[in-house]
A and B are shown apart, each in its own frame.
Chain A
Amino acid sequence: TQLLEQSPQFLSIQEGENLTVYCNSSSVFSSLQWYRQEPGEGPVLLVTVVTGGEVKKLKRLTFQFGDARKDSSLHITAAQPGDTGLYLCARAAGNKLTFGGGTRVLVKP
């Protein structure tokens, strides 16, 4: 059972379009991390959000943490083929992370 629900599971868009992926839970997060994973490689940390309502920007990526700290979103503006990958959210609990099921994003040229 996933404690973190990510949606959609799969997203295919054309280069230049925008996209948003979501990460939701029924319980409150102390913090939330977003990772991107390319095929055959390990995930790479993109950002950590800690404060309810927080917005962080990383070039064309915008990360938002819900006011109640139960949800988060990742918005990509003008997507490029290099944005293709598996996007994973994860919440911290003690020394451990619990990962969502991921959203696979395909950006076609």
Chain B
Amino acid sequence: SQTIHQWPATLVQPVGSPLSLECTVEGTSNPNLYWYRQAAGRGLQLLFYSVGIGQISSEVPQNLSASRPQDRQFILSSKKLLLSDSGFYLCAWSRSYNEQFFGPGTRLTVL
């Protein structure tokens, strides 16, 4: 069966510090991978998606970047965090019919 992991689960970072969030998928190959951000109690905003190694599509201009160094690894990064980067970050994978399977999320607080 397929599983998706995210770490860390929670993170508190000062403004201006760098960020690296990691997502890995097991049990499948060549998945589509996605990064979302979610404001408290609201819907999901798609940040980046990837259909293959090294292929990244950015949905919104922002302070973040994404990379896919391996088939089942997706990384979300920032060089300098802003207060507005706080939120709940979710990674997801899909294979067909766009049904997506989500990881447990990372709660990021920027102080």
A residues with CB within 8 A of B? 2, 6, 31, 33, 40-45, 48, 86, 88, 92, 95-102, 104
User: Is the beta-carbon distance between B100 and A97 smaller than 8 angstroms?
Assistant: yes
Using Cβ atoms and an 8 Å threshold, which residues of chain A touch B90? 42-43
How many chain B residues sit at the interface, stated as a range, is: 20 to 34
| B61 contacts A by Cβ under 8 Å | no
Q: A86-B41, A95-B32, A95-B51 are in contact. Are A42 and B99 (CB under 8 A)?
A: no
- 7 further A-B contacts with Cβ under 8 Å, apart from A95-B94, A96-B34, A104-B41, are A6-B43, A33-B98, A42-B90, A43-B44, A98-B46, A101-B43, A102-B42
Using Cβ atoms and an 8 Å threshold, which residues of chain A touch B45? 99
Using Cβ atoms and an 8 Å threshold, which residues of chain B touch A44? 102
How far, in whole Å, are A48 and B44 apart by their CA atoms in the complex? Answer: 18
